[in-house]
Structure 1
Amino acid sequence: MIWSWKSGSGKTRRVSPFPVIPDDSSDDFRRVTVVAGGASPEREISLASGRAVTGALKSLGIDVREIDPVDASLAGRDWCDGEVVLLALHGSGGEDGTVQAELESLDVTYTGCGVESSRLAFSKSRTKVRFGEHGVPTPGAVTLGPGFDPRTLDELLAQFGLPLVVKPDTQGSSVGVRLVESPSAFSAAVAEGFRLGEHVLVERAVAGEEWTVGFLDTWALPPVRIKTPRPFFDFEAKYHDDRTELEFPAVEPGSTAERVVAVARRACKALATRGLVRVDLRVDEWQRPWVLEINTIPGLTDHSLVPREAAHAGLTLGQLCQRMIGSAQSEPRGWHIRQDQMVRSAVAGVS
């Protein structure tokens, strides 16, 4: 299948088998600051992403510095005109709108989603509500809060049946996610979820295949079908298990891959995402995609999914980072604030 896209000059280029993201990057910046680390349970993955990104950019001759928010606040740093922050800060503090709000206050350009979209995507329960409002298919779920009565677990089992997926409402990288296949394992999974956060999501498990697809703005990377010998694509499968296999099915009319991209695109639109994100899905036995969540700062290590999708599309990690920077620079100053206003209005039911 042949795809085409128009470059900035207006010329149409034809590529196969998947559209290459246009190179809208520029060298109109004095320095790139990579922010990684932080204090979340995803710290080590974030540091690995930061090292990979820093190395890739330096190999292109770009002036790069690294900042770990644990060492010092961003406010105490020197910022030069034209500087761009590339965010590789996973988990709380990075994907929940905190660092975005701080950079907004400093008037520093940064990659990825704005404050409100980040906050929305970081909460799996709020994301599901948003998906429901926009007709994005997502597995049924209930959210358990601090006042949850453990005696009602039997009612949840009767409502959803087994298997179930139990996960903290605000963690990434599959931290704390448990697949519950027996009633005896349910209470321990819920307890683990509460250990990692104030709210826990209990979700209907979708039997079928694991898929993911990255987006840079509106441009989709090649979708991936994930095969793992583990019960599901958990933390170990993502970062340590070399038996995990990635397949890149052809995106052809009427194919499952095409449906995955279409549904994932709707999910991104529902949350008003910007920059590089990753949409995780399950595809059931009837080949219907179900969106699980959107990661607004996906992993960028050599074992991470999005860089491997980019490589399949012919992009090195350095080239992908250049496009992330170009995306951040492509909007007029203050676009994140306008995006946040739009998201807040939509959530409040104004628009």
Structure 2
Amino acid sequence: MRVVILCGGESSERDVSLASGWSAARALLEREHEVVLVDPAAAVPVLAGPLRPGDTVDAVAVGKEPPSLSERHRLRSQMHASLTGGPVLELLRDADLVFLALHGGWGEDGHVQALLEMAGVPFTGADSATCAAAWHKGRTQAVLGAAGLPVPERALWRPGACEIPQDVRRLAGAGPVVAKPVADGSSVSVHRVDSLSQLTQVAAEVHRSGVELLVEPFLPGREFTVAVLGDQALPVVEIELTTPVFDYEAKYQPGAASEVCPARIPEELEARLRELALRAHRALGFGGDAYSRTDFRCDADGEPMCLEVNALPGLTAASLLPLAATGADWTYPDLIQRIADLAKR
């Protein structure tokens, strides 16, 4: 196939997305596809290509810090121009498949998917409506809770727009809590907070960006994640942390976390986590042509709670979905080909 990989983009996960794109390019070339690698937010969008089987592709490392807010505004303007006209749009229309390696922002909240749908371009992953539903963590948890899945108590707060809501005060008073952007990925700006005064400090940091915070009780138990491809739940991954929360640095810098797959857990818990991930996948509208990754953390009694569902999980060498694939005895190229095959159903 002629495959255009979209990566990079304008979100806080830009570096992760670039690394995912280059990794996917190597895998698709190994499977005999022709590849063009495009970063729609870059000044020169075509990063490489057309690449053909046998061509060499270098690896890309993930930086320690996500892009600044001012940088993201500039990237968003360039991305909008690239995707709505000119040579990038023509490249997308001429492709047999667009492989989405865009994480966060417009790449994961449904914007890019909606544009591709309107242009009649086939792409990997979930449709625009499903991505939009999964992107907002508060709405995701509301949908999952209504479907009977276990979710933690939560409260939303847009700092600066109003006084601290009473439900936020109550949760913080009972502390500790986790405060994080209600719509962002790669665990950017995730904080464990032990007091209301500390929460106020976190809120002051995020106020300038207009971010809405989701506040939920800190769950002291073990942390797991389960990927679903189509109708198949992959083996459970356990995340063993050296930090209180699985934040951006812990995810992408060596030594901050240990990830084990298959997780060393009883069969009953393994089966339960995989069943919950499948139910979450379906409850949010992910179909047999899409993939997702559901994150769990256990409470003090060892009961797993659904935290969020990722519509376009990372595909870097250090990412959790490729690790789960190895637990299923798939190679990395196997995984990328399976994602492509789902889109062609």
Bin the TM-score by the shorter chain.
Answer: 0.7 to 0.9
> What is the TM-score normalised by the length of structure 1?
0.80
Q: Residues 131, 191 of structure 1: CA spacing in aligned structure 2 closer, same or farther, 3 A cutoff?
A: farther
Moved more, 79-88 or 179-188: 79-88
The answer as to whether partners of 2:110 and 2:129 remain within 8 angstroms in 1 is yes
Q: Where does residue 263 of structure 2 map in the other structure?
A: 249
Deviation at 1:196, TM superposition (A): 4.2
Deviation at 1:147, TM superposition (A): 6.3
The answer as to whether partners of 1:170 and 1:197 remain within 8 angstroms in 2 is no
Q: Where does residue 85 of structure 1 map in the other structure?
A: 98
Deviation at 1:153, TM superposition (A): 6.2
Deviation at 1:191, TM superposition (A): 2.8
CA deviation vs aligned residue, 1:325-344 (integer Å, no higher than 9, x gap) = 110111xxxxxxxxxxxxxx
Match of 1:67 among 14, 17, 38: 38
Deviation at 1:243, TM superposition (A): 4.3
Q: Give 3-state SS (helix, strand or coil) of 2:91's partner.
A: coil
CA deviation vs aligned residue, 1:197-233 (integer Å, no higher than 9, x gap) = 4421111221201100111011111111110111121
Pairing 1:199–2:212 present: yes
Unaligned ranges ≥5, structure 2? 46-81
Q: Residues 329, 136 of structure 1: CA spacing in aligned structure 2 closer, same or farther, 3 A cutoff?
A: same
1:261-340 equivalent positions in 2, closer than 5 A: 261-274=274-287, 275-330=290-345
Query: Could you tell me how far apart the structure 2 residues matched to 1:241 and 1:189 are?
Result: 26
Q: Where does residue 156 of structure 1 map in the other structure?
A: 168
Q: Residues 80, 103 of structure 1: CA spacing in aligned structure 2 closer, same or farther, 3 A cutoff?
A: closer
Q: Residues 78, 133 of structure 1: CA spacing in aligned structure 2 closer, same or farther, 3 A cutoff?
A: same
CA deviation vs aligned residue, 1:166-187 (integer Å, no higher than 9, x gap) = 1111100001111102333111
The answer as to whether partners of 1:153 and 1:187 remain within 8 angstroms in 2 is no
Pairing 1:177–2:190 present: yes
Match of 2:245 among 232, 235, 248: 232
Deviation at 1:251, TM superposition (A): 7.3
Q: Residue type matched to 1:302 in 2?
A: A
Q: CA RMSD in A?
A: 2.0
Pairing 1:33–2:33 present: no
Query: Could you tell me how far apart the structure 1 residues matched to 2:275 and 2:228 are?
Result: 11
Match of 1:131 among 136, 144, 147: 144
Match of 2:24 among 53, 62, 81: 53
Identity of aligned residues (%): 37
Q: Give 3-state SS (helix, strand or coil) of 1:94's partner.
A: helix
Q: Residues 237, 159 of structure 1: CA spacing in aligned structure 2 closer, same or farther, 3 A cutoff?
A: closer
Query: Could you tell me how far apart the structure 2 residues matched to 1:61 and 1:52 are?
Result: 15
Query: Could you tell me how far apart the structure 2 residues matched to 1:54 and 1:310 are?
Result: 17
Deviation at 1:313, TM superposition (A): 1.3
Q: Give 3-state SS (helix, strand or coil) of 2:322's partner.
A: helix
Pairing 1:166–2:179 present: yes
CA deviation vs aligned residue, 1:295-320 (integer Å, no higher than 9, x gap) = 10000000101101101211112111
Deviation at 1:136, TM superposition (A): 1.4
The answer as to whether partners of 2:31 and 2:337 remain within 8 angstroms in 1 is no
Query: Could you tell me how far apart the structure 2 residues matched to 1:95 and 1:260 are?
Result: 24
The answer as to whether partners of 2:243 and 2:250 remain within 8 angstroms in 1 is yes
Unaligned ranges ≥5, structure 1? 1-29, 331-351
Q: Give 3-state SS (helix, strand or coil) of 1:127's partner.
A: helix
The answer as to whether partners of 1:279 and 1:294 remain within 8 angstroms in 2 is yes
Q: Give 3-state SS (helix, strand or coil) of 1:192's partner.
A: helix
Query: Could you tell me how far apart the structure 1 residues matched to 2:266 and 2:177 are?
Result: 32
Q: Give 3-state SS (helix, strand or coil) of 1:93's partner.
A: helix
Deviation above 6 Å: which 4+ runs of structure 1? none
Q: Where does residue 71 of structure 2 map in the other structure?
A: none
Q: Give 3-state SS (helix, strand or coil) of 1:132's partner.
A: helix
Q: Residue type matched to 2:9 in 1?
A: G
CA deviation vs aligned residue, 1:47-89 (integer Å, no higher than 9, x gap) = 0110111111112221111111213226432346671111110
Deviation at 1:93, TM superposition (A): 0.8
Query: Could you tell me how far apart the structure 1 residues matched to 2:165 and 2:132 are?
Result: 29
CA deviation vs aligned residue, 1:130-186 (integer Å, no higher than 9, x gap) = 112211111111111366434x36763334511111111110000111110233311
Q: Give 3-state SS (helix, strand or coil) of 1:203's partner.
A: strand
Pairing 1:43–2:58 present: no
Q: Residue type matched to 1:325 in 2?
A: A
Q: Give 3-state SS (helix, strand or coil) of 2:225's partner.
A: strand
> What is the TM-score normalised by the length of structure 2?
0.81
